[in-house]
Structure formats: structure tokens, C-alpha cells
Amino acid sequence: MFKRAIPTAILLAAGSMSAEAADGAHGFLEDSKATLSMRTLYFNSDNRDGAADPSKTEETAQGFVLRYESGFTQGTVGFGLDAQALLGVTLDSGRGRHVGSGMIPSDGDDAADSWSSFGPTAKMRIAKTELRYGTLLPKLPILISNDARVLPQSFTGTQVTSKDIDGLTLTGGLLEQAVGRASTDRTGLSVAGATRDSNKFYFAGGDYEITKTLKAQYYFAQLEDFYNQNFVGLTHLLPIDSASSITTDLRYFRTTSSGANSSAAGRAQGYRASGYTEDNNGEIDNSTWAAMITYANGGHAVTLGHQRVGDGSNFVQPNQGSLPDKGAGGGSVYLPTDRMIQSFTRAGEQTHFGQYTYDFAALGVPGLKASIVYLKGTDIKVQNGSDQSEWERDMTLDYVVQSGTFKNVGFSLRNGQSNTDAGRDVDQSRFIINYSIPLL
């Protein structure tokens, strides 16, 4: 079991805030809430070609996430304290089946019986501006906390969010460390292929609601010694009638090398990205854009889209999978092609995709949804070789119990198939049970 000491500053802040609450400063305790979330995940990933081990990964694990969120003390400046405690328990695994799931830490060649971590977050609020320091779960275009296994990926750092201007949300901060979804240890931040890390990920940006149906976004991020990244996004909702609408979503990223990744000496030390680069040198240089349109009518939703990755290098965002801590891997990217198995972010890749989703509430079965998506990527750049291609098909069936003893228990069945020239063909299935209990 993993134990982490709480920083003295956090303990002092908690004691101070509790004392203020006891003295009659309302809000800190009165607005507190706590939730216990549980997730059971069966993960089966079967490699259909190639001789490399493993040919199949098959495991089941149980995750528990206890989250506490305080209110704020009264006054011009309000203080609060949040915390999350994570516990993962292995239910089924075995030698030869525990490689590649990114779900359970390793204990030698076997899966660990259990793993846990604890993360506090101190917070301060002035008007509609909030400062948070400690454990963070960012959901931003330039960084998304991955939650695709039993426990979520988390980050440590500082984040400021301001909503003082109507329609405008400003966000900025500095992240220093990450805890992988299959790890209890903190690492620095890195990119796929790099063996070195950085403890400085700066970010700033904003979301502006131009109208009730039109939103614009801009964000800048710098992972020190790796890259600078600019993001511009635009989403528009066009209501047609009471039952139908058209949503347009445009995204553009420009990513260039920074610091050690910009020099041959730095890349030789391990500050390099994996995959194709124009000079085969691991330097980051990429432009990626994606456009998709979704037509919704009643329970039906159809999405069509296209994404294009520049030739200079793979698209990058933080991913610690190449660091020595094997449980640190796994990451999400803010692209519509980031799916169950592949992300379609290789240098030069052009991807067409389509998705159909149906909400059975339209047929009188609320809580039941199904979807199928197909993606086809071509023109993947290869050093001294012909361009490659890949495709993926994913199907999902989700149901949330609407009433009775098991109300709000969610069941999810997912199946994906990926065929790629750039790696191994994979068939993957997951069965997930989610349930949350409010404690406060």
C-alpha cells in the first residue's frame, strides 16, 4: 500500500480554516460535500498479429475514489480544502496476462494486489476568481486528465480560474508532477518517446461565449524543454427546431520545439519525441487541425469529421509512458480521434471519421444509449518507407439504472477493433460498472 505525507502547509491551512468555521464563519463546513465513487473494470486486449509478448492482456480491477470538497470561509477572501483518496484492488490477473493494460501497477512480473494514493488541494476564492494548489484534474484543450481505467490520472500544481467577466472564463497555472492511472508515484511531465521529464508545464487561456450558441477558445501551453503549443477552437450550435440541431466543432493546434528539444545535444540526453520527424531527430514541429459536424434529431445523432496532422512530427501533449515508472503511462488528447485504442495523431496522418449515436429515451427507455464510430487514417509518414494507414471501429452500449435499489448504477460495454500498419492489430473489449454514493 502506498502512503504519502500531507505537506505541513496543507495541514496548517486545514487547521486554520476549521478553526474559522468553528468560530462561526459559515460556508466551509455547511457547503461541504463528499462522494465515494466505485468502478469495476474488466479489460481484455487481444493482439491479432506480431510475435511480441504479450499476445493478450486480460485483467479485472476495482477502483475506489473518495472525494471531499469543502465550502469557502466567509469574508472578502474565502478559503477551502479539497482532498481525494484513491484505492485500486486487483480482482483478477496472472503472469502472462499483466502487460499493457495501463490499469494495474506491477509487482515484479505480476500485478500488484492493491495500490493507493492521497491528494489534498488548498483553495482560495476572491469574487469569482479561484486559486487552487495541490492535486488537480485538468480538463483543458492543452491537457486532459485521463480517466479511462479504474483510477484517474492526476497532476500536482497551481491553477487559477476567473469568471469575473460575464461569458469569459480565464484559466492559467503551473503543473509540476503527475500520478499515472496505474501508479502511486509522482513523476515529472514528458512526451511519448522521451526518457527525460520536466517539472514545469505552464498554461494560460480562456473560453469566451460570444453568444449563447457560439463559443471561442484560445490556450497556450509550454512544457519546459519540450514544446510550446497554441490552440484555437470554435464551436457553434444551430438549433433547427425543438427536436433537432447542428453542431460545428473546429480545433487547431500549432506545436513547436522548446528548450532541450530544440537542440541536438538536448535530444541526445533524452528530450526527444517518438515517431517520424523530417530529419529523424526527434524534434517536435507539428500543426494539427480537426473539423466535425454533428446533426442531432430526437434520439439520433450523426457526426462526420476530418482531421489532418502535419508532416513535421507526431502531435504531442503530455504523456509519461516512456519514463521508467511504467504505471505513469496513459494520456488523453483534445482531438475527436482520441478513441478506445488509437488516437490517429501520427505525423502526416489524415483521418476521416463518422459516428452514429442513439439515445433510447426517445423510445421510452431512458438511461440506455448506443454508439458506433469508424475512423480511417492514411498518409502516415515513415522514415525511408512508404506511407502507412490504419483504421478503428468502436461500439459502445451504456445503461444507467433510473430507479429502485440500484438507481444511478451505470453499466458500459465497449468493443473496439484496430488494424494498423504502424503497430499491432488489436481487438479490445471492456466491461465497466460505475456507481457513486453521496456521503455529505
Query: Is position 286 within any domain?
Result: yes
Query: Is position 412 within any domain?
Result: yes
Query: Is position 246 within any domain?
Result: yes
Query: Is position 3 within any domain?
Result: no
Torsion of CA 274, 280, 286, 291, to 10 degrees: -70
Domain hosting residue 99, numbered range: 8-438
pLDDT value at residue 51: 67
Q: What is the pLDDT of residues 360-382, one digit of tens each?
A: 999 999 999 999 999 999 999 99
Task: Report d(CA 224, CA 222) in Å as an integer.
Answer: 6
Task: Report d(CA 38, CA 43) in Å as an integer.
Answer: 16
Domain CATH number, residue 60: 2.40.160.10
Higher pLDDT, 23 or 109: 109
- In 3D space, the residue among 324, 287, 313 whose CA is nearest the CA of residue 196 turns out to be 324
Q: Is the pLDDT of residue 24 over 60?
A: no
Query: Is position 2 within any domain?
Result: no
Q: What is the pLDDT of residues 302-320, one digit of tens each?
A: 999 999 999 999 999 999 9
Task: Report d(CA 366, CA 368) in Å as an integer.
Answer: 6
Q: Is the pLDDT of residue 83 over 80?
A: yes
Query: Is position 127 within any domain?
Result: yes
Asked if the bond preceding 54 is cis, omega within 30° of 0, the reply is: yes
pTM of the model: 0.91
Query: Is position 1 within any domain?
Result: no
Query: Is position 383 within any domain?
Result: yes
pLDDT value at residue 78: 97
> Total structural domains in the chain?
1
